[in-house]
Structure 1
Amino acid sequence: MGFSPASAPVLDQLLQAGLIDSQVGTDDQPAAGDCLVEQWSTASGFVIVGACGLVTRLIAPLLVNKERDPAVVVVDPQGRFAIPLLGGHAAGAERLSHQIAACLGGQAVLTGATAAAGLLSLDSFGKDWGWQRGQGDWSALMRKAAHLDQPLRLEAHHGSRRWLELEAATCLLERAGGSGENPEADLVVDIHTGAGCRWHPPSLWLGMGCERNTSLSLLERLLEQTLADQQLAPESVAGLASIDRKADEPALLALAAKRGWPVRWFGADSLAAVPVPTPSAAVAREMGTASVAEAAALLAAGPAAQLLQTKLIEHANPGELGAATLAVALAESQWAPERGQLHLVGSGPGSLELLTADARRALAEATVWVGYGLYLDLLEPLRRPDQLRWNGQLTEERARCALALELASQGLNVALVSSGDSGIYAMAGLALELWLASPADGRPSFSVHPGISALQLAAAKAGAPLMHDFCTISLSDRLTPWEVIEKRLQAAAAGDFVVALYNPRSLGRDWQLARARELLLEGRPASTPVALARQLGRADEAVSLHSLGELPVEQVDMLTLVLIGNSSSYAKDGRMVTPRGYPGAELS
């Protein structure tokens, strides 16, 4: 919730952005205290606009312990600073502060020892990687972690191992001497129960089959006994899977709802295609597939899954109904699409000042940034040590999209970064195609965050050239045949559109721009103004005006956007303008 003892405008922004669920405004300190008392035990956190001293006095009588207290973030009335006053790790106040700062264009002020030193918060970082926290004395671990001269024993066997590449993990790895087998480890990332403080990745999928109207108690007994016998952590269960004919089975649905697990349903044909160790002819006659539990577990766990527990059968006790089977599969890394998020982020032309608030927030919330190295370099001042950066090559767009989708399917929050607007000649289309090709019940969430495109910034720098109909055409024939590009140029010339040319000229494509000029000259005079905008939004930005007839083709490269006016566009006093209407037309 949000609570404002001073003013509401800042919280209005956070409410609209979805960072707070509700808002209360009051300048009355007793009323503020009453509000906190009323909401303290149920709210996950408070965002308070006001002074830290006042907030400290208000919350002091309410404090219980770090495991139960909600997050409290204090924001100044101008929205310049977000301070996690309480619950920085366990309650997520530090993460919330980063989100608030990104939304308001402010700064998160972190005073915790680990955050200030750029280290991992061992008791909370796993949430960003889609994990759930298990048993252990976490307070003791954090006290030990604060003494940097003491060794910390680490054991990491399951789940994504990319977190070990984090800058914030460097010190931990040095203190631990690696991440291999260590029976007395202080910190463990594993699917099993045991000693030490444990993070459990979502790597286990349960395949279940049952007779019609089987009792819920029977399913729970089978599940709990199987996990206990194998020393498997319930927190590592990513979800439940079965045949689609059981999609209305009350006990299966009740079990999944009670545990908060997603359920994946597979058709008999899909299950029948999966090799399993214990097929059943009787099941094949009844269900159209020789395996339900084993095949469903393997399919749900994704590529390269392995069966940890072959099919077990449990029959009804007195007072129960039915019978059930259970198998457990281990994903190759981790596999929890329903927890994952894939964000297509348009970073704008390059300057951080031109990054939209929406894009900035998506970057702040992401666990992994994926993108072309040059574009990520421009965003690097915004990246924290606990955020992983993965650099891709310029021509490997499909590989970048596939990696981002894979990481999001593992349960991570991933930002796939494009320059400009990700939906204009960038990554959004390819990423969406790959996402749509995935099974509908195996997709992470997908969202696009627009950025300022090169077209928009070039127009702003040149004057007002886009006041009438315009189009964009890429001159790169790497993905589009040149014959098609020529038809589009001819159509643009015939339609008298203002034209923005992307990818106009490179060392290997040095003639296409001259040909484009010839085609456009068929529909407009040689005096038509042209803006060449190079390195927009960056230190070497340069914008110059020319005429179409004397366009200096040799000055153009792949870092240049070419903006060509229509027959009514003109340049004057260093500015380019396209009138809103044609001669004889009137604006009403």
Structure 2
Amino acid sequence: MSIPGTGQDPTLRWGFGLGGASLPLLRRLLAAGLIDRIALPPQPGEGISAQPETTPPRANECDWAARSLGELLASEWPRSQAFVAVGACGAITRLIAPLLGDKTSDPAVVVLDPAGRYAIPLIGGHAGGAEVLSQRIAAVLGGEAVLTGASSGDGRLALDSFGRAWGWRRGSGDWDALMKGFARGEPIAVAQQAGNGRWRQLDAAQGLLSEPESVEQDHPQEAAVARRLVVAAERGDGCRWHPPSLWLGVGCERNTSLSLLERMLDGALAEQGLAAEAVAGLASADRKADEPALLQLAERRGWPLRCFEAEALNAVAVPNPSAVVAAELGTASVAEAAALLAAGPGAQLRLGKRIERPGAGERGAATLAIAAAASQWAPQRGQLHLIGSGPGSLELLTPDARRALAESHVWVGYGLYLDLLEPLRRPDQLRSDGQLTQERERCREALEMACQGLTVALISSGDSGIYGMAGLALEQWMALEAGDRPGFTVHPGISALQLAAARAGAPLMHDFCTVSLSDRLTPWAVIEQRLRAAAAGDFVVALYNPRSRGRDWQLGRARELLLEGGRPAQTPVVLARQLGRQEEQVSLHTLGDLPLEQVDMLTLVLIGNASSRVAGGRLVTPRGYPGAELA
């Protein structure tokens, strides 16, 4: 059982323009979820041209006519995450200049030209996330992100911000010195003791030096070097990223004070030299799932709370079991067992059970144990995008899919499909190739990384929800506990069926169906049953996976079944191969003379119904079925 915590104050992303002509552009970004609110310019006669009267304000749009734009920005600046401005860079710079504070705390500001061709991260490129936001905006608008930062311009990793994409929290260190040294080409040494290490495979991470895992113990003087990047659960010297790898097991008396729990946790982490940013979550017994102080602590710190049944806790071997606890709760351990159970296979106990007594004005008592997980875990930070890449051409990739690809820091898919998308991949995005027949393994890999807190794209050709990866991934996602599930979004794509129909003419003007001839996941007897039903119903039929080297007879048998079911031999058939790619071939045939040997797994077979006909090299299925009138 998992209870997610939030612990995050809401932050706004504003969009505004210096004229009414910017409103359609901003509304596109609002619809795409890239901004939360639009500030409209004053009405005509107040010095700035306003939006046309035909486009009145909608929800999430406010008029700043009652006060100046500068006043609006000043009031919203401290609590906003980002501002997207449409206008000249100079004018926007002068507007925000009085508000600028520190680059680590200022919100992101992205400037767009009125046509939406260029997205420029003006300030907050790394810490504020302006570069990432620019890339997402460019993907939605079909424009270009103009990145001028030293790391981005050279295709190198932004060391002071990249860890967020990998589900980590940034810790202490002289980050300014690290980034300036990196920009000058000085060597950067990396030591990693926790978290997902696949970021080292990034194109943008090449050139970083590795240190032995024991460098801090063996060379304490070297550990103080500023130009070191350390990925670990511990606090210390160097610039630190903290993966979510620590689980805090907590047991407490009923109605224990929140202040007692916080004092206990903060003190233990400090004593052990562990970073609070490395905490993955809290763990306890299921009888504590409604404990007020535990729930408040989870909410305040943004830590999920995982609770386990006594039987599961009692099965965990712990160094400090308690007969008293066993008699009362049915398990000899709560804190240690819960921490180890939540941390999963390979977990190590970093702190054995300790007891905290109440201080002045406090109630209750509590126990704490800390376990380190073998892998990081933060599904509340993760997102799994199921992306349909279309038939092959980047021109046929939907804007929604482009945005999801831009947001994702890991792309998982079959190598051929990833090759087609390769021109869109950035050096800071990891490509993970899979084998054609290993769909379940690819789903598992993508879901595991999303559960670690990463944003992952699981890519199919065509539409992910049509013979793609969406179904397999969703089954695995649904098998997780509700609190262990990362975000899950399916992004539609243009299917091979749609493009084949467009190339052939208009064959889908009446009822149609699709049938896959692959019997790898479906028994052939079931496929034959569906083919007979399609013939009896006189559907236009699209055949996917029609023929391969190991399955060279199924297409011939499908033709036999359709002919036996009453489909005339002169029924028109479209063979569409390599759709949307340079090798695209589309040809017209009849069911009786279908050239089976020309068909392979890169071909879609589209078979007309009784009313389909060909004229002028085009295939059409009339809207009106024989015997019926088209109103």
Would you call these one fold, judging by a TM-score over 0.5?
yes
Q: How does 1:481-520 map to 2 (within 5 A)?
A: 481-520=523-562
The letter for the 1-side match of 2:199 is W
What is the identity, as a one-letter code, of the residue corresponding to 1:465? P
What is the match of residue 9 of structure 1?
A: 24
The one of 198, 210, 215 aligned to 1:181: 215
Residue of structure 2 in register with 1:159 after alignment: 195
What's the offset of the Cα at 1:279? 2.1
Residues 29-75 of structure 1 deviation map (CA, whole Å, 9 limit, x = unaligned): 79333332232222111100111121122122221121222111001
1:383-422 alignment to 2 at 5 Å?
383-422=425-464
What is residue 576 of structure 1 aligned with on the other side?
619
Alignment correspondent of 1:452: 494
In structure 2, what is the Cα distance between the partners aligned to 1:270 and 1:449?
A: 38
1:360 aligns with 2:402: yes
* Stretch of structure 1 that moved more, 211-220 or 276-285: 276-285
Over 3 Å counting, the alpha-carbon distance change for 1:180 and 1:54 in structure 2 is farther
Secondary structure in 1 aligned to 2:237?
Answer: coil
Report the CA distance between 1:177 and its aligned residue. 6.7
State the distance in 2 between where 1:333 and 1:119 align.
26
Matched, 1:322 2:358: no
Kindly report structure 1 stretches of 4+ aligned residues shifted beyond 4 Å: 27-30, 176-180
Q: Which residue of 1 aligns with 2:60?
A: none
Tell me how many residue pairs correspond in the alignment: 585
Aligned residue for 2:224, secondary structure, equals coil
Change in CA separation of 1:422 and 1:303 when aligned onto 2, cut-off 3 Å: farther
Q: Report the secondary structure of 2:441's partner residue.
A: helix
Distance in 2 (CA, whole Å) between partners of 1:405 and 1:369 is: 12
Q: Secondary structure at the match of 2:536?
A: helix
Deviates more, 1:293-302 or 1:467-476: 293-302
1:503-582 pair list within 5 angstroms: 503-522=545-564, 523-582=566-625
Does structure 1 conserve the Cα–Cα contact (< 8 Å) formed by 2:117 and 2:141? yes
Cα distance in 1 for residues equivalent to 2:150 and 2:392: 33
Q: 1:67 aligns with which of 78, 81, 104?
A: 104
Q: How far has the Cα of 1:316 moved from its partner? A: 1.8
Residue identity opposite 1:534 in structure 2: R
CA deviation map 1:108-155 (0-9, x unaligned): 01011110000111111111011111111211211111110x222222
What secondary structure, in the 3-state scheme, does the structure 1 residue paired with 2:79 have? Answer: coil
Task: Measure how far apart 1:424 and its partner are.
Answer: 1.0
CA deviations over 1:413-461 (Å, ceiling 9, x no partner): 1101111111111111111111111222211111111111111111111
Give the letter aligned to residue 224 of structure 2.
Answer: E
1:351 Cα offset (Å)? 0.6
The match for 2:479 among 430, 434, 437 is 437
The answer (yes or no) to whether the contact 1:156–1:180 under 8 Å persists in 2 is no
Helix, strand or coil at the partner of 1:171? coil
Other structure's SS at 2:247 match: strand
Counterpart amino acid of residue 539 in structure 1: Q
- Range that drifts further, 575-584 or 355-364: 575-584
Q: Does structure 2 retain, via aligned residues, the 8 Å contact 1:153–1:184?
A: no
Q: Secondary structure at the match of 1:23?
A: strand
Contact 2:191-2:211 within 8 A present in 1 as well: no
Select the residue among 131, 135, 145 that pairs with 1:94.
131
Give yes or no for contact 1:119–1:171 (8 Å, CA) kept in 2. Answer: no
- Counterpart amino acid of 2:215? E
The code of the aligned residue for 2:193 comes to H
Q: Residue 579 of structure 1 aligns to a residue in which SS? A: coil
Letter aligned with residue 591 of structure 2: L
Maintained 8 Å contact 1:302/1:335: no
- Partners of 2:284 and 2:600 lie apart in 1 by 56
* 2:572 partner amino acid: P
Q: Could you tell me which residue of structure 2 aligns to residue 32 of structure 1?
A: 69
Please tell me whether residue 292 in structure 1 is matched to residue 334 in structure 2.
yes
**How many angstroms apart in 1 are the aligned matches of 2:125 and 2:119?**
12
Give the whole-Å Cα distance in 1 for the aligned partners of 2:102 and 2:202.
Answer: 30
TM-score by length of 1: 0.97
Aligned match of 2:628: 585
Query: For residue 283 of structure 1, what is the aligned residue in structure 2?
Result: 325
Q: Single out whichever of 19-28 and 193-202 deviates more from structure 2.
A: 19-28
Q: Gaps (5+ residues) in structure 2?
A: 1-13, 49-66, 217-222
Equivalent in 34, 49, 67 of residue 86 of structure 2: 49
Aligned equivalent of 1:199, options 230, 234, 241: 241
Q: Give the distance between the partners of 1:226 and 1:41, measured in 2 at CA.
A: 33
User: Aligned partners of 2:110, 2:611: CA distance in 1, in Å?
Assistant: 55
Q: Which residue of 1 aligns with 2:503?
A: 461
Match of 1:190 in 2: 232
The residue type equivalent to 1:525 in the other structure is: P
Percent identity, aligned pairs only, is 70
* 1:358-396: CA deviation from partner (whole Å, max 9, x where unpaired): 111111001111111110010001110011110101111
CA distance in 1, matches of 2:69, 2:617: 57
- Cα displacement (A) at 1:541: 0.4
Tell me the CA shift for residue 481 of structure 1.
Answer: 1.3
Alignment partner, residue 309 of structure 1: 351
* TM-score (normalised: structure 2): 0.90
Partner of 1:261: 303
* Structure 1 unpaired stretches of 5+: none
